[in-house]
Amino acid sequence: MKLSTQQDIDAPIEKVFAAVSDFEKFEKTLLKRGAKVERLDELPNPAPGMAWDINFAFRGRQREAKATIEELAVPDTVKATAISSGIHGYLDVELRSLSQGKTRMKIGVDMRPKTLPARVLVQSLKLAQGTLKSRFKDRVANFAKDIENR
């Protein structure tokens, strides 16, 4: 199952990349939402190889995931993977400078089930795909507004 959207942001590409690669802020957001997050690496700065163990509740069950930064190319690319209960997830963020003060951000998420229970879960998500796409676009738009307001 794939979700993707793009958003134009009134901010320079460097500022947008700094927000997209602010993994400490994402950790805090997950903690606020009740997830348990454990950093697995000891890298001092954002770089490929950063990894986390994440425990969270989803659809009434406790789930575990391992997230890893696969590629981090300043100032335009962030790629990450997450593996959880038979689902492999891929995140791809691409930034393109449209002018000195404007950036286009493209975000894509791809979830691939690897087990039968995971296929059932992903299939149930596909049934609500319209709602998921709308929520995804809204969250990306809110993230873009947050970057502009910083």
> Using one digit for the tens of pLDDT, what is the confidence trace for 15-73?
999 999 999 999 999 999 999 999 999 999 999 999 999 999 987 888 999 999 999 99
Q: CA-CA distance, 73 to 115, in Å (whole number)?
A: 32
CA-to-CA distance for 71 and 59, rounded, in angstroms?
30
Q: CATH number of the domain that 124 lies in?
A: 3.30.530.20
What is residue 121's predicted lDDT score, i.e. its pLDDT? 85
Q: Can you give the residue range of the structural domain that contains 21? A: 2-149
Distances (CA, A) of 147 to 34, 45, 64, 89, 132: 24, 20, 29, 25, 23
Number of structural domains, the chain?
1
User: pLDDT tens digit string along 90-129?
Assistant: 999 999 999 999 999 999 999 999 999 899 988 988 888 8
